[in-house]
Structure 1
């Protein structure tokens, strides 16, 4: 019952204040993908600029004179000066850097000092060999490390099979600590020298078999690293409430682990895979030298020995840009899987 005022009339009800409008986060403003794209584009541009400057000045620190290597040990001082002028090495560093940048803008990496060929032709001939062992090695890492880490994590959940956990941790840690050039030499000793089932170096007569040992040398260590990460993440996911609930539904094993465990491991696994694939490009330099592989690794070693500035600059620049693009691709895939990695807010 409502009380009346002194005039005997019912007081008019004051309407409740309208609720303040709620701000809907993540619905207004620029798209997270736009900010992500601009940020990554600026980062990629900055990486390219740093790579250009580092590669240009780094090769100038290599001891020795390229003109002497090109002219030969018996060349006179005048001949060496003529070669230096022909190669443009007698110009000031700012002028050389200007010519280098101008060529890069036009897609020209220069000409090799020792082979008198465009660097782009040399790279196009060697790059497929490096990619041909780096990409299959990464695929092998994912195909072996992810199921291996998941299996060990499932079998050792809680306090089960402690011996398996210890053996896996010790063995994977020991193998991942072996340098890849030592692993490459060990594989050659076993499969090429002792068993004589695979060629010890690149062979034109059996090119398919030549890929086996370099791929294994690149993949064995990363398999152990990724498997350890997947095993740890598997243990964390298995203790989550949602997975305990899913286990209570009595689902088949392949469906339980494939639908509720594997997707939770994708973020950490893809992040680690991008880092490992980037490192594989650098490791390929050492592995290719051990196996005499005609890729970028062996090419840069030969270029350093002959002080071939354009080839060194071109190989390092291409490897750096490829590594930056791999990192960008991983970020895009992670953004598609989990939009929270874009840095935006979502309801």
Structure 2
């Protein structure tokens, strides 16, 4: 199948997925209990004042009209204005996005750096103590709730031992290299929380695909040619086992984004997730819609790129 046709088909699918996400988000937010006008003024406001506030943001119009107008704004790259901050939603998200990218990026790198050697060691010692321990930890890691891990780490490493900061993204009043060091220290706990939850699936995938690769004919031939077990494992078997693992990295980005929303809330980390929490409490529809759209777009694009890479690397799946 031509590459252009493959990319075009994936792009259309991604756009339809985004449209579905936008529609569901738009409708669900309107079902939230509460009155957005109360977040903008006093609960003792008159009915005329409330109506004027809703009209100024177009919330007094029929739902279908609001939806059509919102889609029209999206096409123009306009995400609206924050109800509570009275600034463009784009500016609100732009201030928070770098922190979320830093957190998810650090967690993803840690997952790969820890997952590959653990998966390899478990596969090379199949049935041994290390292999059983990795399997138990892997299944456990997939079963726990992200905030539970975050709270546990916060309490043990932050409160009881006092080794790391328990909230925020950096210390105030520090500059230069001290600021970067402060950012790194504040990043450890939230990034570690996300890593521990995601690591299990990655390690188990590496282990299972590597065990399968070690039983294939090409690894048997490599051993027959006199190659050392270490060389067969790391150069031949692992190279082929990394293809499914590479795909999993892209798919895990969606879970990382979802986990970041919860983790940022626990650690008061100033990313998109913390912004979503604050917007929910304030019924700030505009910020919520923009944040959910941004997160959905991130996941859709990551999955599309992963799908394309997998299709290019393995032509057998390129025709799906």
Q: TM-score when scaled to structure 2?
A: 0.92
The one of 66, 86, 94 aligned to 1:116 = 86
Where do 1:255-334 residues align within 5 Å? 255-334=231-310
Q: Which has the larger radius of gyration?
A: 1
Where do 1:32-43 residues align within 5 Å? 32-43=2-13
Q: 1:203 Cα deviation (Å)?
A: 4.4
Q: State the match for 1:196 in structure 2.
A: 162
Q: 1:166 Cα deviation (Å)?
A: 2.6
1:226, 1:272 within 8 Å by CA — same for their partners in 2?
yes
Q: 1:171 to 1:53 in 2, by over 3 A?
A: closer
Residues of 1 paired with 2:66 and 2:134: CA distance?
Answer: 54
Q: State the match for 1:177 in structure 2.
A: 143
Deviations 1:154-211 (A, max 9, x none): 122xxx53x3333322232223311111110111112111221110111432222101
2:89, 2:286 within 8 Å by CA — same for their partners in 1?
yes
Q: State the match for 1:17 in structure 2.
A: none
Q: 1:104 Cα deviation (Å)?
A: 0.7
1:180, 1:283 within 8 Å by CA — same for their partners in 2?
yes
3-state SS in 2 of match to 1:112: coil
Residues of 1 paired with 2:2 and 2:243: CA distance?
Answer: 18
Where do 1:15-34 residues align within 5 Å? 31-34=1-4
Q: 1:271 Cα deviation (Å)?
A: 2.0
Residues of 1 paired with 2:258 and 2:169: CA distance?
Answer: 23
Where do 1:1-347 residues align within 5 Å? 31-156=1-126, 161=128, 163-205=129-171, 206-343=182-319
How many residues align? The count is 310
Q: Which has the higher helix share?
A: 2
Give the superposed CA RMSD.
Answer: 1.6
Deviations 1:250-301 (A, max 9, x none): 3345532232112211221022222211111011110000000101111111
Q: 1:212 Cα deviation (Å)?
A: 0.6
Q: 1:242 Cα deviation (Å)?
A: 1.5
Deviations 1:33-91 (A, max 9, x none): 23312220210121121122112111100011111221222322221111111111111
| Greater Cα shift, 245-254 or 261-270 | 245-254
Unaligned runs of 5+ in 1: 1-30
Q: 1:314 Cα deviation (Å)?
A: 0.4
Q: 1:239 Cα deviation (Å)?
A: 1.4
Q: State the match for 2:174 in structure 1.
A: none
3-state SS in 2 of match to 1:199: coil
1:33, 1:342 within 8 Å by CA — same for their partners in 2?
no
3-state SS in 1 of match to 2:31: coil
Q: 1:203 to 1:322 in 2, by over 3 A?
A: closer
Unaligned runs of 5+ in 2: 172-181
